[in-house]
Amino acid sequence: MNPSPNLFLVGPTGAGKTSIGQRLAAHYGLPFVDLDVEIEARCGTTIADIFEREGETGFRARECAHLDEFSLREGIVLATGAGAVLDPANRQALMSRGTVLMLGVSVEEQLARLEHDTARPMIAGPDRLGRLKALAEHRNYLYEDIADLIFHGRHESVDDAVPRAIALLERHWKRT
């Protein structure tokens, strides 16, 4: 059983935070929250529209407020947006309010998983591979810095990945 008040999933776009997070929440009998979905629901529009109207700065302010609110809850699995770790206050909130699980994935795997995705403003444009590499270079050390655990993705289905993630979490919680 999860002795932590919360489980927070961080990692790059396409790492599986939502897919794996939903399964982890079901396994532990906890509610699942996708931070980006909550932002869209409360704002009544898409993240791409928020980026277009308010820029990245406006979106990040909304993201910070929502992350603070949801991370204060107890007993949830929260999938953060890929850029949530950019803000130092977000990193501190995640580290101090639960277990942080980084989902790691290679840029090549991201590219394959996101091949048909057109909704993510941070990877929009003709050089998607270049964008993903730049984002990885800028963000991966932030994910790693706050992570209690790092779960490396493989070329596998969610059904195969989830038991590995559960085993990793269970080993960690037995030690703490």
Residue 149 corresponds to which tokens in the numbers above?
């655990």
175 is in an annotated binding site: no
Q: How much is the pLDDT for 36?
A: 94
State yes or no: pLDDT of 79 exceeds 60: yes
Tell me the torsion sign for CA atoms 150, 156, 158, 160: negative
Q: How much is the pLDDT for 1?
A: 45
Q: How much is the pLDDT for 38?
A: 97
CATH number 3.40.50.300 given to 6-168: yes
State yes or no: pLDDT of 88 exceeds 80: yes
Per DSSP, the residues of 31-65 read -EEEHHHHHHHHHTS-HHHHHHHHHHHHHHHHHHH
60 is in an annotated binding site: yes
pLDDT: which is higher, 175 or 92: 92
Which SS3 state, helix, strand or coil, does residue 75 take? coil
113 is in an annotated binding site: no
Q: What percent of the chain shows pLDDT beyond 90?
A: 64
Q: How much is the pLDDT for 147?
A: 97
36 is in an annotated binding site: yes
Q: What percent of the chain shows pLDDT beyond 70?
A: 89
Length of the chain: 176
18 is in an annotated binding site: yes
**Domain locations along the chain:** 6-168
34 is in an annotated binding site: no
Q: How much is the pLDDT for 136?
A: 82
Query: What angle in degrees, to the nearest 10, is found between the helix axes of 88-97 and 128-146?
Result: 50
pTM (predicted TM-score): 0.89
Confidence of residue 48 (pLDDT cuts 50, 70, 90): confident
89-137 pLDDT per residue, tens: 999 999 999 999 999 988 787 767 666 666 555 566 677 778 888 888 8
State yes or no: pLDDT of 69 exceeds 90: yes
Q: How much is the pLDDT for 70?
A: 97
15 is in an annotated binding site: yes
11-30 pLDDT per residue, tens: 998 888 999 999 999 999 99
